[in-house]
Structures are given as structure tokens and as C-alpha cells.
Structure 1
Amino acid sequence: MIRSEVDDGVTLVTLDRPSRRNALTPEGLDALAAAVDDADTPVVYLTGTGGAFSAGADFSVVADLDREGAKEFARHGQRVARTIETAESVVVAGIDGPARGGGVELALACDIRVATPEATFAETGVALGLFGAWGGTVRLPRVLGEGEAMDLALSGRVVDADEALRMGLVSRVVDDPRTVAVEVAANEPDALTVLKRRMRDDAKREVQESREAAVFADLVEEHADDLPS
């Protein structure tokens, strides 16, 4: 489900479950966190296989959760997103194809988001009576501003790479996002670490994420029977 290798001084972490558009189970979340946490290069490049970045949470798992299980699954995803966000390495997301729900949230946790022209983004959970609960309600307004975040989250609409660039959801649109990771890795590692720590300094997230997980659990309890298997 998760592959990790080092090339050009960059740890390449690949979500490799194309049959489910790289959707993540609890085991997949653990493997992703371990791959990022174990990286000993200054830059990690996170991407997906099979023409998709990630569909986010595996709904076949979510549909079987009771309220407490749903809350823990949300907290699980939040912990993994924070592992990405607080990693010693700079984490660059290379988004090629769809990023949906939790896939958008994992990208938001990365330090740099780079899309190919084929990338698309959407918070589609709202159509199923849910929302992304891996820290998305915290990070999305921080990255996009409240107006753009509300539009994306409440409409569930699909945003292409060019609009994502305009919104600030990604910083570049290129044919090969991995080249950006290699570019960043060419810099002084100590400077990268210090810059990331200073720009990531935020002490209020925990309370917001706790509330987010509780509300997500309420919605899973209410809509579990309607989720796709």
C-alpha cells in the first residue's frame, strides 16, 4: 500500500493502492506515517500511483465504524497529517490526477503542493453527509482563506489544476512535480529545517481537531448505511 525509496537525495513515498484510487485504511495510515517519520533525507516526495493522488479515507472501512470508532479514525488521520506537517524533512506533495477528501487533507499537511495539469481536487464527502476530518477544517481556511475554503468544502465541486493554482491550493503546475522536490533538496538541510519550523509554528490546532473528530463521528453514525462499499 505504501512504497518508500531514496533517489536523488529525496525519499519517495508512494501511495500504491490503485484499485482503490490510493484510499487509506488504518494500516495504510500507519505505513504512511512510518515512511515519513523514518525518512533521513532533507526532503520527502509524496505521490500516488495509477493516475490518482489519493481518494482519502477508504469508505468501506468508515461504513463499518461505530461512533467511537469513527472518532478514532478521524483522530488517526489527524495524527498522520501532523506527522507529515511536523516531520524534520520538507514534504512535497506531487499531485497527479484526483485528490479527494482525505487526499486533499494529506496534501494540505505537506509543506509544498505541486500539481500536474491533470490534477483535480474536491471535498466530495459533503455529498455523502460527511466531510474531511483529518485536519481539513483547520488547514483549508488557513491555506485558502475562509471564502475560498467555504466554497470548496460546501459545494463539493471539482477544481482543476489551474484553479487550484489561482486559489493557492498548489504553488506550481508542472509536468513532473518530482523536479520541485529535487530542487528543494539541493539547498542546505539545516536551513530547510529551521525555515519549516518557523513557518509551521501554530499552537491552536489541537482543540479544533478534537472538535472536528467529534462532529465527524456524529455524521458517520448517521450516514454509515449510505456510504459506498
Structure 2
Amino acid sequence: MLAVTDEDRVRVVTLDRPDRRNALTPTGLDDLRDAVRGADQPVVYVHGAGEAFCAGADLDTVRSLDRKDGEAFARRGQRTMNAVADTDSVVVAGVDGAARGGGVELALACDVRVCTPDATFAETGVTLGLFGAWGGTRRLERAVGATHAADLSLSGRTVDAETAREMGLVSRVTSEPRAVADEVAGNDETALAALKRLLGADADREETERQEAAAFGDLLARDPF
């Protein structure tokens, strides 16, 4: 499900489940958390194998959850996204192809988000009677503002790469997203870590995540599938 390659200044983490569009299971979430936390390099580059970046939570897993397990799954995802956000390494997301639901949340947890012209983004949870509960409600609003966050979350619509850049969902559209990771890695490691802590500070995160997990469990209690 996950492939990790260590280079001198960059750890490359590949979501490697292309037959499922790199959807994340509970084990996949744990593996991703460990891969990011275990990096000794100043930069971690996260991307997906195949035609998608990440389809989000594995729907076969989600369909099997009751209210209690749904809340626990949301908390598990939050821990992984927080590990991405809080690790000392700068995490760069290179989005190529589809980012959906939890895949958007994963990108949002990264410090730098870039994409190829073929990338598309959608918060599709609402179309399934759910929503992204891995910290995405807070991070999406911080990234694109309240107006765009409401639009994306409540409509479930898909936006292309250029629209994502205009919104602030990504900073660049480039045919070589990996080159951005190398660009960041060329800078001073101590300064990168300090900047990451300052740019990512979010005092409101804990309460938002508690509410997300509870609401996600409530929705699953209705058996939306």
C-alpha cells in the first residue's frame, strides 16, 4: 500500500494502491503516519501511484463501520493528518490525477501543495451522506477561505488544477511536482523546521477535530450506504 524511498534530502512516500486509486484503509493510515514521522530528511514528498493521487478513505472500510467505529476511524485519520502537519520535515504533496475526500485532506495536511495540469480535486463526502472528518473542515477553510470551503464541501463539485490554484488549494501547477520538493530541500534544514512550526500553528484544531469525529459517527449511525 505504501512505498518509501530515502534519498539524501528527500524521503519519497508513494501511495501505492493504484487498483483502488490509492484509497486509505486503517492500516494504510497507520503506515503513512509512520512513514512521515520516521523521516530523517528535511523534506518528505508524498504522491500517488497510477492515475490518482488518493481517492480518500477506502469505501469498503467505511461501509463496515457503525457509529462508534466511525468516530474511531475519523480519529485515526486525524492522527495521521496531524502527523503529516506536525512532523519536523516539510511535507510536499505532488498531486497528479484525482484527489477526492480524504485525498484532499491529505494534501491539505501537507505544508506545500502543488499539482500537475491533470489534477482534479473534490470533497465528495457530501454526495455519500458523509463529509471529510480527518481535520479537513478546518484546514480547507484556512487554505481557501470560508466562501470557497463552503462551496467545495456543500456542492461536492470537482475543480480542475487551475481553479484549485486560483482558490489557493495548491500553490503551483507544474508538470514536475517532484522538482518543488527538491527546491525546498535545497534550503537550510533548521530554518525549514522553524518556518513549518510558525506557519502551521493552529490553536483551534483539537476542538474542531472532536466535533468532526462525533458528527462523522452520527452520520454513519444512519447507515448512509
TM-score w.r.t. structure 2 length?
0.98
Report the residue type matching 1:219 in the other structure: L
Aligned counterparts of 2:108 and 2:177: Cα–Cα separation in 1: 16
Look up the match of 2:69: 69
1:176 deviates by 1.1
Aligned counterparts of 1:130 and 1:144: Cα–Cα separation in 2: 21
Look up the match of 1:106: 106
For the 8 Å contact 1:94–1:114, the answer to whether it is kept is yes
Look up the match of 1:144: 144
Aligned counterparts of 1:221 and 1:23: Cα–Cα separation in 2: 22
For the 8 Å contact 2:122–2:156, the answer to whether it is kept is yes
Size of the alignment, in residue pairs?
A: 225
1:115 deviates by 0.3
Does the alignment pair 1:221 with 2:221?
yes
Look up the match of 1:43: 43
For the 8 Å contact 1:116–1:177, the answer to whether it is kept is yes
The secondary structure found in structure 1 opposite 2:99 is: strand
For the 8 Å contact 1:42–1:189, the answer to whether it is kept is yes
Look up the match of 1:96: 96
Aligned counterparts of 2:131 and 2:147: Cα–Cα separation in 1: 17
Gap runs ≥5 in structure 1: none
1:199 deviates by 1.1
Q: Deviations over 1:154-203 (max 9, x none)?
A: 11000000000000000000001000000000000000001111111222
For the 8 Å contact 1:99–1:120, the answer to whether it is kept is yes
The secondary structure found in structure 2 opposite 1:13 is: strand
1:223 deviates by 3.0
Q: Map 1:61-210 to 2 at 5 A.
A: 61-210=61-210
Aligned counterparts of 1:7 and 1:174: Cα–Cα separation in 2: 22
TM-score w.r.t. structure 1 length?
0.97
For the 8 Å contact 1:119–1:161, the answer to whether it is kept is yes
1:148 deviates by 0.5
Gap runs ≥5 in structure 2: none
1:6 deviates by 1.7
Report the residue type matching 2:170 in the other structure: V
Q: Deviations over 1:29-58 (max 9, x none)?
A: 000000000000000000000110000100
The answer to which of 201-210 and 34-43 deviates more is 201-210
Between the aligned residues of both structures, percent identity stands at 60
Report the residue type matching 1:145 in the other structure: G
Aligned counterparts of 1:180 and 1:87: Cα–Cα separation in 2: 19
**CA root-mean-square deviation:** 0.8
Runs of 4 or more, structure 1, over 4 Å off, are: none
For the 8 Å contact 1:8–1:182, the answer to whether it is kept is no
Look up the match of 1:24: 24
Report the residue type matching 2:175 in the other structure: D
Aligned counterparts of 2:93 and 2:117: Cα–Cα separation in 1: 14
1:8 deviates by 5.3
Report the residue type matching 1:125 in the other structure: G
